[in-house]
């Protein structure tokens, strides 16, 4: 090897060493390159790749320090267990009857057409504005293609939440999927009512008693009266004498609970309706109680503060008060619900 060639090779090796040293210094001065961040969570079913790479079957990102989606309360995700709520549109006008149309997309990417009835219906639809006003519990119809439709009028502008509560025929559990829809117009938020133990609606007084405790099953008892007299001929509604939906303030986590006592056609109930409800965390919840009397469904609304220690809710002495439920050891009622 000539001296000139050796000199050139030596210079080249020196340049490489300087390049690697520079790269190491730069790399030490910045954060290491991490794996791609998970896609932001979205309720918009139009977003592609709901179950694409990096996503689990619930539509949640894998890894990233997120809690197990199965552990979160229902209603917070648009997709779960491979099933996705897909609205035809998420834009509406206030005060105008329009058609709410949607499908439940199954793991195979096609609309679900086979359901197992829960509480006498294939699917329950809850619509409420994000400030918890304008609550509606309705039951749309499904066509042969798996498309659900129902005429609906949004009463005011703002962001609304729609929940679908259902059980696919091929699944052994119920699912609650939720997504936001947008209603044009001026948004005037409605503040939550102060916590109270009585709510009056359509001539009925509904009282609430109980001691809700976060993280534990709490018994809530509602008493229905009219003109100061207990109502003892409540009619079955969705297989029970009452239907209770609880929504957590802030994120609208969804708790759907039915009373321990089932009801069939021809039966009469009341004046008490009892529920076993587990509030997952401390916080403020809105409770929506549906009951049927004289052929009409009425909805009572309550705001409840839930703590880890529990605060007793006591009805006013001027109205009929619920009496504690008596159980025989070994024959306690078991609440059913979601």
Residues 214-245: pLDDT tens digits? Answer: 999 999 999 999 999 999 999 999 999 999 99
pLDDT given for residue 323 in this prediction = 60
Q: Is the pLDDT of residue 31 over 80?
A: no
pLDDT given for residue 63 in this prediction = 35
| Contacting residues for 308 by C-beta, under 8 A, at least 6 apart | 213, 214, 215, 282
Residue environment code for 160-195, b if the CB has 16+ CB neighbours within 10 A, otherwise e: bbbbbbbbbeebeebbbbbbbbebeeeeeeeeeeee
pLDDT given for residue 258 in this prediction = 66
CA pseudo-torsion sign 213, 219, 224, 228: negative
C-alpha span between 86 and 181 (Å, rounded):
11
- Pick left, alpha or beta for residue 65 (phi over 0 → left; psi -120 to 50 → alpha; otherwise beta): left
pLDDT given for residue 227 in this prediction = 93
- Residue 335: pLDDT band (50, 70, 90) is very low
Residues 130-145 have a mean pLDDT of: 98
Residues 295-325: pLDDT tens digits? Answer: 999 999 999 999 999 889 988 876 766 665 5
pLDDT given for residue 321 in this prediction = 60
Q: Which two tokens stand for residue 224?
A: 């229905």
Residues 148-207: pLDDT tens digits? Answer: 999 999 999 999 999 999 999 989 999 999 999 999 999 999 999 999 999 999 999 999
Compute the mean pLDDT over every residue in the chain, rounded to the nearest whole number: 81
Q: Is the pLDDT of residue 288 over 90?
A: yes
C-alpha distance across the termini of the chain, in Å: 83
Of the listed ranges 16-25, 116-125, 244-253, 302-311, the least confidently predicted one is 16-25
Residues 56-78 have a mean pLDDT of: 57
Q: What is the pTM of this model?
A: 0.75
- Residue 326: pLDDT band (50, 70, 90) is very low
- Pick left, alpha or beta for residue 270 (phi over 0 → left; psi -120 to 50 → alpha; otherwise beta): left
Domains in the chain (CATH in brackets) are 69-183 (2.60.40.10), 198-306 (2.60.40.1930)
């Amino acid at each position: 090897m000539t001296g000139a060639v050796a000199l050139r090779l030596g210079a080249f090796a020196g340049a490489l060493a300087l390049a690697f040293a520079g790269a190491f210094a730069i790399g030490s001065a910045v954060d290491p390159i991490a794996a791609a961040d998970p896609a932001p969570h979205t309720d918009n079913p139009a977003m592609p790749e709901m179950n694409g790479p990096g996503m689990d079957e619930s539509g949640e990102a894998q890894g990233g320090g997120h809690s197990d989606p199965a552990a979160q309360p229902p209603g917070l995700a648009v997709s779960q267990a491979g099933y996705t709520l897909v609205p035809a549109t998420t834009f509406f006008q206030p005060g105008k009857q329009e058609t709410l149309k949607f499908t439940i997309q199954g793991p195979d990417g096609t609309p679900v057409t086979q359901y197992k009835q829960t509480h006498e219906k294939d699917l329950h639809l809850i619509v409420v504005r994000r400030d918890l006003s304008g609550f509606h519990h309705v039951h749309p119809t499904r066509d042969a293609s798996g498309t659900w439709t129902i005429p609906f009028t949004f009463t005011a502008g703002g962001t609304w939440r729609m929940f679908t509560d259902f059980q696919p025929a091929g699944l052994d559990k119920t699912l609650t999927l939720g997504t936001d829809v947008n209603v044009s117009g001026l948004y005037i938020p409605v503040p939550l009512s102060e916590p109270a133990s009585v709510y009056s609606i359509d001539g009925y007084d509904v009282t609430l008693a109980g001691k809700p405790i976060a993280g534990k099953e709490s018994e809530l008892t509602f008493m229905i009266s009219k003109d100061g007299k207990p109502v003892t001929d409540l009619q079955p509604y969705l297989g029970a004498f009452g239907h209770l939906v609880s929504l957590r303030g802030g994120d609208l986590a969804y708790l759907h609970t039915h009373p321990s006592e089932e009801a069939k056609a021809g039966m009469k109930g009341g004046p008490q309706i009892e529920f076993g409800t587990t509030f997952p965390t401390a916080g403020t919840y809105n409770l929506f109680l549906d009951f049927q009397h004289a052929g009409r469904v009425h909805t009572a609304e309550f705001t409840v503060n839930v703590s880890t220690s529990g605060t007793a809710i006591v009805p006013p002495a001027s109205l009929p008060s619920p009496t504690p439920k008596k159980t025989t050891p070994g024959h306690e009622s078991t609440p059913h619900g979601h």
